[in-house]
Amino acid sequence: MKGKQFIAPVVALVVAAAVLLGVSAALGGTARSSEEAARAEIMSYMLPSRPTSFTEEPYDGEDESIRRVFKAEDGYVLEVETAGYVGPMTLWVGVTNEGTVSGVTVRDHGETFGLGQGAQTDAPFLLQFLGTAGEAAVGEDIDALTGATVTSKAVTRAVNAAAAFVTGADVSSGATEWEG
């Protein structure tokens, strides 16, 4: 008799687990497509013509900071990872076919609150990179974030690396080297 008392709850748990597994599998594709749509929308703001279509291209070049390359008709959006003050920083950099930086966004970082963290939200800092072509330098044409020189140089390296990819600048030219 006692064995029958446990059958109903066990069956209910198995059915609930199956339903949750099914819902999770069904929504997994939706989450993935939502993430891709959000990525495409953000990337569309990175290039002047606001393209809606990007093709991911393989990258096997020398610059280890370049993680992914997305091609549109009028340029590229590159995912670049660089070493910040606290740890790795991931940026998306839009570069026109002519090699001019047209957009910069910091996607992920662990920089210091109130200092390097500003690299993600400080519009005047990020706007300095627009129109550069791989030659940006902190202290020359880029004003560093106050108290975050290392972070500022990290962002500069990432932007220069993206522009160097499009213009074909050799990594050994120093366009992407640490300045600090």
* Domain map (residue ranges) of the chain: 1-41, 55-173
pTM of the prediction? Answer: 0.74
Given pLDDT bands bounded at 50, 70 and 90, which one contains residue 15? low
The DSSP result for the chain, as a single string, is -HHHHHHHHHHHHHHHHHHHHHHHHHHHHHHHHHHHHHHHHHHHTTSTT--S--EEE---SS-TTEEEEEEETTEEEEEEEEE-SSSEEEEEEEEETTS-EEEEEEEE--PPTTTTTHHHH-HHHHHTTTT--S---BTTTBPPBTTBHHHHHHHHHHHHHHHHHHHT--GGGTTTS---
pLDDT for residue 49 is more than 90: no
Q: Is the pLDDT of residue 177 over 90?
A: no
Tens digit of each residue's pLDDT (9 = 90 or more) over 124-160: 998 999 999 989 999 999 988 888 888 899 999 999 9
Query: 20-57 burial by CB neighbour count: b if 16+ within 10 A, else e?
Result: eeeeeeeeeeeeeeeeeeebbeebbebbeeebeebeee
